[in-house]
Copies of this chain bind each other. A is one copy, B any other.
Amino acid sequence: MRILSSELKDHVGETVHLEGWLHKKRLLGGLTFINLRDRRGIIQAVIDDKNEVDKLKGMQIGTVMIIDGKVVDEPRAPGGAELHEVKLEIMVPVEFEPPIEVDKPLSHKPENLDTLFEHRAIGLRNLDETKIFLIRSNLLRLIRQFLYEHDFVEIQTPKLVANAAEGGAEVFKLDYFGKPASLAQSPQLYKQVMVGVFERVFEIGPAFRAEPSATTRHVSEVTMLDIEMAFIQSHEDVLNMVQDLLYFTVTNIWEQYGNELKQLRAPEPILTPTFPRYSMRQIHELYQEANKTDMSGEIDLTPDEERWICDYAKEHDGSEAVFATDLPKSKMKFYHMSKDAEAALSADLLFRGLELATVPQREHRYDKLVEQMKTAGLNPDDESYRFYLQAFKHGLPPHGGCGFGIDRLVEKTLGLGNIKEAILFPRDINRITP
């Protein structure tokens, strides 16, 4: 009966059976020490029997093997115990050295990223890499837990669409049985339609952006959490829901995976249950005063202001998350609700200097929406908008929501330097493999 590496300590004095990968091998004082990796981590085994040592001859890191041995207390070993009196059995021999080191702590220097991604299939076996994606999976599990508890229904909307132009990023085009089609850059129109059915919906899925930029922020395929909720009293209801979601998720990941996060040197979160809110104008003024820079010409927040206001809120309000409210009309999409002549009913959720989500109330009034589409240069009679406008024509209540970047959340939760480090197999202008 196989036990897992994490269970070793519970079996001190017993003979146990483990299966996994050879992760490290070294000679020390005439003894052979090996680390065996399985899905829970690593254990250490000490081999002195020459017959057993011989079985390892020529076996490289990655060799799949069975180890039987006696568990002995050893505070210096991973997990506080190690294996003695070892019997080995090779299941899958590996004769090639790994193309990338897997037994060193992670250090993602920018110049190494390309090598990292070229050998991703092996590099992910590094225990720190594995932890990144364990955290990612559990952030998503916590997000779903929160949303189920708040009566949201998960939906799947099509990624193949006739027209992905909602006024956002560039789109990928393809031939769909002789007709032109695009890859969805978000489920925006579909999720709004769906609040007419379930009131509260969410989707977690891929979104595609033909971003022709090569930066630490740009990828062409992202994982988005899309949320939409109806029967809101005001924009504030949406901000609170998104705030509570982020607070719940980040707080709980630290409660449940604090050890792993510390091992990855993730910065401990500084958050208050209520996130501070500053209007765009306030941020410009505060920044101008603190930095002695003239911001009067700026409409939108500059990247430097995004970082600065997060630092400011951290110090001033004890929160690394902050809402920048009253976003300018210039940033407003046709489906956002207008607040007044200058501002939209929309806010950016910033976390550790990066925008995680734009959180607007939607324009739910049919006539007003048609008008805003025209102002945005779109044709409301276009066949691809018919189903969308139909939902409004037949009654949609006040609603709002957001598209929340999961890759960005993982990046910022872990304190990574590049969004691509938070993605298993990232895609950018230069990369379509592996």
Please give the residue numbers on chain A whose beta carbons come within 8 Å of chain B beta carbons, in ascending order.
2, 19, 21-22, 38-39, 60-64, 91-92, 94, 96, 98-99, 119-122, 124-125, 129-130, 133-134, 137, 140-141, 144, 148, 151, 153-162, 172-177, 179, 181, 183, 190, 193-194, 196-200, 205-206, 208, 210, 212, 220-221, 223, 231, 364-365, 383-384, 386-388, 390-391, 393-398, 423-425, 427, 429-430, 432-434
Contacts and interface: CB of A to CB of B under 8 A. Distances in A.
B125 A197 contact: yes
A340 B7 CA distance: 38
Contacts of A384: 433-434
A397 B92 contact: yes
The 4 tightest CB contacts between A and B, nearest first, are: A387-B434, A62-B395, A62-B394, A39-B199
Given A179-B432, A183-B183, 15 more contacts: A63-B395, A91-B397, A91-B398, A94-B395, A98-B394, A121-B193, A121-B388, A121-B391, A124-B196, A133-B153, A133-B198, A141-B144, A160-B208, A162-B433, A205-B206
Nearest to A389: B121
Contact of A137 (B153, B221, B432): B153
6 contacts: A94-B394, A121-B394, A122-B390, A122-B391, A157-B424, A173-B174
Contacts of A92: 364-365, 395-397
Given A393-B96, A394-B98, A395-B63, A159 B221 contact: yes
Contacts of A208: 159-160
A93 to B, nearest CB: 8
Nearest to A22: B395
Contacts of A161: 432-433
B231 A2 contact: yes
A328 B391 CA distance: 49
B130 A64 contact: no
A177 B395 contact: no
Nearest to A195: B39
